[in-house]
Amino acid sequence: MSTVSSVVQNTPASEFEAVIGLEVHVQIRTRSKMFTRVAAGYGAPPNSLVDPVVLGLPGALPVMNKEAIDKIVLTGLMLGCEIAPECKWDRKNYFYPDSPKNYQISQYDRPICVGGSVEIELPGPSRNVMGAHRSVQLTRIHLEEDVGKLNHFVYDSLVDLNRAGTPLMEIVTEPDMHDADEVFAFLTALRQALVAAGISDCDMEKGQLRCDANISVRPRGQAKLGTKVELKNLNSISGVRNGVEYEIKRQIAAVRRGESIVQETRRFDMEAGISTSMRTKEMAHDYRYFPDPDLMPVRIDAAWLERLRAQVPELMFDRQRRYMERWQLPYTITAVLVPDPALGAWFEEAVGERVERAQAIGNWIANDLLRELGATGQTLAECKIRPTHIAGLVEAVEGGAISSSIAREVFAEMFATGESAGAIIERKGLKQSTDTDELERWCAEAIAANPRSVADFKSGNEKAINAFKGSIMKASKGKANPRLVDEILRRLLSS
């Protein structure tokens, strides 16, 4: 055994570092497929979304889908990529039943988007605390057509070509991640950005987002990369995390036993929680790429870029930083508001120009509104409460019209009926009592009924004053103004 091998075998597992790169395939949401007018979609009867171009019949010629090109350029601008002024199409040749042409139209050496990055948030010390942020570097984003799907049964495998030809964006990262949590954070942030921008629905169950992970390990501090293994059959974001975590442990254990890692493709078994070998890894030359003779190169000029640049949405973490800086919202509230752009816009409409009510509105949305939506199964669009209703409720509480406890009753009525807070308060007679004579009588009665608390308060126990408030609120049926009650109690107790 060599000295180097001996050193590696005796190195603790914690002294190894994983290096991970991802290849993420995302179906672009368009009405038609990439090179034909036939509809793109999910759930149609098998082999109903096909035509001569999809089937690769002789004489059928492809025509580019401009909407798909717009959306990949928009993605590149959103993620800080360099947009190529000209890109071309290549044929990636291989035989497989899901590819009726025996090649896939893709981009090899001249992709549309080069470089770029995705900002991620790593787990904080607790769920209520912001984690560390960093950017995962991208290598490229290119456009291609999707292939069909094989459906496996007990004795047969049937081909469904409905998916074939759907615009597919491949996002390739640098080997820039080092554990399963970073991979999970990357896919979560990427998916949120693409869904928010309307690029894709990214439903992994429908195959709209698929991910392969390239994983290698090396002694910590070593510059040279280890032999990489490609991991497939990762069908959910949590499944990707589980598969990567297992593969890292498997490779470290193998290296410490003195075994060599083979460059191969492995399948992750979600139920068993293990990976198994599928085949040795192909190299690019195995696909015999060559330029597609039926498609012209795409030239993207400055005017085209500027039109799309104007459509780039605010990214999630940028919006979160804006909320925290402009309105001093706590991390716990922003973490709920910003992942859904529609919810963030709803919140901003409720706040309007009143900066001082932002935190209260954020609390009502994050805690009460989302709780009721979840309990009833409603979407935000279906909800009867509008942003102005929440703003009115906060105004009523802060203006002293109702107490916080009465506000919850008003909110429940608002959610059920869609009435404004003011209308409900008026209809149900919920406005707080500010009649000082009546409040003073209730306070005096409470003091007379509780001499022990009087003595405690006078001896310096400030909290003893709360003992009187329950009976006062009961006598007023919750309508007594808490601020006035506190003032009157202190005056009577000190006199």
DSSP calls for 214-268:
EEEEEETT--S----EEEEEE-SHHHHHHHHHHHHHHHHHHHHTTPPPP-EEEEE
Please check whether residue 311 lies inside any domain of the structure.
no
- The single-letter DSSP state of residue 141 is E
132, 174: one domain: yes
| pTM of structure | 0.85
Whether residue 253 is found in the same domain as residue 364:
no
Looking at 288, 306, 324, which one is the last position of a domain?
306
99: containing domain: 3-306
- Residue 488 clears pLDDT 90, i.e. is over it: no
Tell me the H-state helices in 429-476: 436-448, 451-458, 466-475
Distances (CA, A) of 212 to 231, 234, 239, 262, 265: 6, 7, 11, 17, 10
- Residue 421 is assigned to a structural domain of this protein: yes
Provide φ and ψ at 360, rounded to 5°: -65, -45
Check whether residue 121 and residue 174 sit in a common domain: yes
Percent of the chain at pLDDT above 90?
71
Asked whether residue 122 is assigned to any structural domain, the reply reads yes
Residue 1 — pLDDT band, cuts 50, 70, 90? very low
228 lies in the same domain as 185: yes
**pLDDT at position 60 over 70:** yes
Q: Could you tell me if 450 and 421 lie in one domain?
A: no
Please give the Cα distance from 139 to 197 (Å, whole number): 21
Mean pLDDT score, 198-202: 96
| 259 & 132 share domain | yes
What's the rounded Cα separation, in Å, for the pair 331 and 339? 13
Tally of structural domains, the chain: 3
Q: Kindly state whether residues 227 and 123 are assigned to the same domain.
A: yes
Judgement on whether residues 114 and 215 belong to the same structural domain of the protein: yes
Helix H or strand E segment including 415: helix 404-417
CA angle 280, 282, 285 (to 5 degrees): 150
135, 13: one domain: yes
Could you tell me the pLDDT band of residue 36, with boundaries at 50, 70 and 90?
very high
List the single range of 1-5, 89-93, 456-460 with lowest mean pLDDT: 1-5
Of 242, 247, 235, whose CA–CA distance to 210 is shortest? 235
Buried b (16+ CB within 10 A) or exposed e, 358-382: bbbbbbbbbebbbebbeeeeeeeee
Both 222 and 351 in a single domain? no
- Short-list 74, 477, 136, 130, CA closest to 306: 74
Q: What is the DSSP letter of 36?
A: S
Q: Any idea which of 79-93, 237-251, 279-293, 445-459 has the lowest mean pLDDT?
A: 279-293
Mean pLDDT taken over the chain: 90
- For 154, the token pair is 């007990």
Distance of alpha carbon 383 from alpha carbon 376, whole angstroms = 10
Which of 165, 196, 198 minimizes the C-alpha distance to 71?
Answer: 198
Q: What is the pLDDT of residue 5?
A: 46
Q: b vs e for 213-237, b when ≥16 Cβ sit within 10 Å of the residue's Cβ?
A: bbbbbbeeeeeeebebbbbbbbbeb
CB 425 within 8 A of CB 402: yes
Distance CA 194, CA 456 (A): 61
Higher pLDDT, 190 or 8: 190
Do 375 and 348 share a structural domain? Answer: yes
What Cα–Cα distance (Å) separates residue 457 from each residue in 452, 462, 491? 9, 6, 12
Question: What is the distance between the alpha carbons of residues 477 and 431, in angstroms, rounded to a whole number?
Answer: 11
How would you write 346-412 as a 3-class SS string?
Answer: HHHHHHCCCHHHHHHHHHHHHHHHHHHHHHHCCCCCCCCCCHHHHHHHHHHHHCCCCCHHHHHHHHH
Rg of the chain on CA atoms, in Å = 31
Q: Name the nearest CA neighbour of 430 among 393, 457, 455, 458.
A: 393
Q: State residue 127's pLDDT score.
A: 74
